Amino acid sequence: MKNILVIEDSRFFLRTLTMCLEDEGYSVVGALTGEDGIRAAQQCRPDLILLDMFLPRLDGMMVLRMLNGDSRTRGIPVLVLSGNTKRDDITRAKKLGVIGYHVKDSMPVEQLMATVKEVAAQSVLARTGACLQ
């Protein structure tokens, strides 16, 4: 079973994502703040992090920097789900190593689940030494 950490300050969106991911067989840990998300990532070492950019006190960019700066969390794939559509912020997030940046309002849940499955499959192949064609 894949473990996914969702760092999202909207309780409604966090609950919705959690239910959708659990229905697909994933184990989900949720965090409502960047600080809680970093602690959860360090403790549970998830296979994937879904990260919002607009978080209280510690925003998504700072969370990305902190995850990249910690040897315990540096290699965890991060997929951004945000309402932020600023090109500069998207470019900065990609430079920080996110595997994808998706705007919440324009991404149907089915597409998100397909993306998560693809990332999970790539992660399994990478761990087994197989190559994607």
As given in the structure block, the two tokens for residue 6 are 């969702």
Domains and CATH numbers, the chain: 3-128 (3.40.50.2300)
- 29 compared with 127, residue with greater pLDDT: 29
Give the angle 50-33-111 at the CA atoms, nearest 5°: 20
Q: Which residues make Cβ contacts (< 8 Å) with residue 19, sequence separation at least 6? A: none
Q: Distance between CA atoms of 26 and 113, rounded to whole angstroms?
A: 11
44, pLDDT greater than 90 = yes
Whole-prediction pTM: 0.88
Closest Cα partner for 72 from 44, 33, 104?
Answer: 44
> Using one digit for the tens of pLDDT, what is the confidence trace for 45-59?
999 999 999 998 899
Three-class SS of residue 77? Answer: coil
Biggest alpha carbon distance in the chain? 41
Structural contact between residues 115 and 100, judged by C-beta atoms closer than 8 angstroms: yes
Residue 115's pLDDT band, with cuts at 50, 70 and 90, is confident
What's residue 113's pLDDT? 87
Residues 52-109 have pLDDT tens digits of: 999 988 999 999 999 999 999 999 999 999 888 889 989 999 999 999 898 887 778 8
23-36 b/e (C-beta count within 10 Å ≥ 16 → b): eeebebbbbbbbbb
